[in-house]
Amino acid sequence: MGSVVDRLKSFFTLLAPPRLVSWQSMFLFGVGLWVVSAVVGLADPENVVDRYILRRVGWFFIAGGVVWRQALDPVKVLGFPIGAWAASSAVITFFFEDEARQWTQTGFILWPLLSGLLVTLSYFLSTSGHWRVPSQLERIKAIVALAVGIVLACWLKFYFVTQDWMVKYPRLWDAQIEHSSFMATLQDPRETLGQNLVSEVDRLLYRKFNGQPWPEIEKQLQQYLGDPDRIDNDLKQGSEGHSPVTIPFGSDWDVTFSVTGTGNPSYTMTTMTTWKSPLFFDNRDFSVVRVCEVTRAPLPLELFSEATQTGLLECNTSPEFIFAERKVKQAGVESPTDQPVASPVQTPDRNEAPMPVKPIAPIVPTPTVPSR
Amino acid sequence: MLPVVIPLRLFLSQLFCLCVGVAIESTLLLKRAELPRQIAFHYSLIANVVAVSVGWLMLFASQDLLFSGVREQQLLSYLFTGEFIPDVSMASTQFTCAMLAIILFLGGLMLKPYSIRLLQRLEILPLPPNADVGLDDPRLNALVLLRLRERIEGSMRIGHVLSTLTTILFFMVASASLWL
């Protein structure tokens, strides 16, 4: 207990202004304005303008106080000075905050640049507040800080550029990111589980249909249609010498299968993989629809070739599927009317939405009805 | 909501290339140009970080030119899925990729020594201590400095070539081990 009280005491003595013109008084003034804006908001929730102005001015003073503090004595966490980052984040909150109290894109990009500039600036200021020429080592540190700031800003900018691309080509959400050497996903374990399952489904479909003779493909399709549980059993019990699919958290999952199309030019197979969340406190279901199209592969051009007609499988993860909207629609991937869940290929709102609410790649989890 | 698709692998591989470049170039500066340890490290670190940031800025400057038409789709397909779109023209994409690789390599080769020289002239980076041999004749001093500069820049160029080869080799081995 004592240590907590001591820490609080030292915190307040740190914030107590030693004289009127000091960074503490500036900081406290800013905090005071901020509190006043909160009180105004409580008293009169309709009054947005006054609150907005008060908060902005408050942030301005907080930023000024933090910059002043940073210039006097850089704060270090684990030996790494963070004062510049804190100060620049305060400055950016003042200048680059939108109505929803989120940083704008420009704010994020300017953050590392501003931090680098502040680090450089702090080397030009002496503790008494006068300008000075930085020492040799400090000049090197300053140029490294600036260059690293530029690199970090470029990384953030590139991240925003990729997000713009994903808005421009919404099907990039369906791409199989794990084969890319540039992009990565930070996903929920529940969705990663489904991703493993869906890749198993993909593998089974490719094994059964890609490059197989056409009559064989039609036979397989007949079998799958005649027995709705067949694909599920193939995956769960293993088929043709392939081991059954096991996933780390139990086996509560299900795959349904349907086929549309006449076979001329193609069959469209829709598989829906549904799985339960592996977390015991979360009883939601997740599902992914994979639409694959099996077409007759082009025959070799030689007249007397003995090659037989084979099939060619394309799923909604392949690049030609992602980038060729019109071609796919002409090829006959139309919405099967009896499908309970619209597949990612056919939902027009995905293409029109400026930003999908739950953008997941490479799979499209649709949290469906919560089961009990 | 966390961002879900981020170019994390790109950032990590760039960090890796930076580390390899700094390690190889600072070793060469240390052994071949006989600079002190700290100065060698600073030279190679600053040259590499400056080269990387200039490269990014040039990418953003030429973004509209680079990502246009069919080439945009091909490049995006490669960025996101690791493969190009079959059945779509590859001609301009191949040319662009080859030009990009050549420009990146040659640009680094020229920019790294140049940035060091510029920063030395701006008195941000120190001259190496063995530049000043204390001869009476200023012309001799200048000659010594010239020789030293040549050696530094030569080592940086060799280091750039070696680090490029090392990273290419590493990524080839890594992708081969993924396929096997």
Q: What are the extents of the domains in chain B?
A: 8-179
pLDDT for the residue A158: 94
| SS3 state at A282 | coil
CA of A353, closest CA in chain B: separation in Å?
Answer: 17
| Cβ atoms of A271 and A292 closer than 8 Å | yes
**A151-178 tens-digit pLDDT:** 999 999 999 999 888 888 877 776 777 7
| Cβ atoms of A314 and A292 closer than 8 Å | yes
Whether residues A361 and B4 touch (CB distance < 8 A) is answered with: yes
CA of A188, closest CA in chain B: separation in Å?
Answer: 9
Q: How far is CA B176 from CA A90, A218, B173, in A?
A: 47, 36, 5
ipTM of this predicted complex?
0.92
Structure tokens that stand for B45 in this block: 């670190």
Whether residues A183 and B80 touch (CB distance < 8 A) is answered with: yes
**A100-154 tens-digit pLDDT:** 777 888 889 999 999 999 888 888 877 676 788 888 888 998 999 999 999 999 9
pLDDT-wise least confident of A7-16, A117-126, B95-104: A7-16
- What's this model's pTM, rounded to 2 decimal places? 0.70
Q: Which residues of B touch A163 (CB under 8 A)?
A: 3
**B30-57 tens-digit pLDDT:** 999 888 899 999 999 999 999 999 999 9
The set of residues, in sequence order, having a beta carbon less than 8 Å from that of A310 and lying 6+ positions away, is A211, A212, A213, A214, A296, A297
Whether residues B11 and A155 touch (CB distance < 8 A) is answered with: yes
Measure the CA–CA gap between A287 and B14, rounded to whole angstroms: 35
CA of A324, closest CA in chain B: separation in Å?
Answer: 10
Measure the CA–CA gap between A352 and B94, rounded to whole angstroms: 32
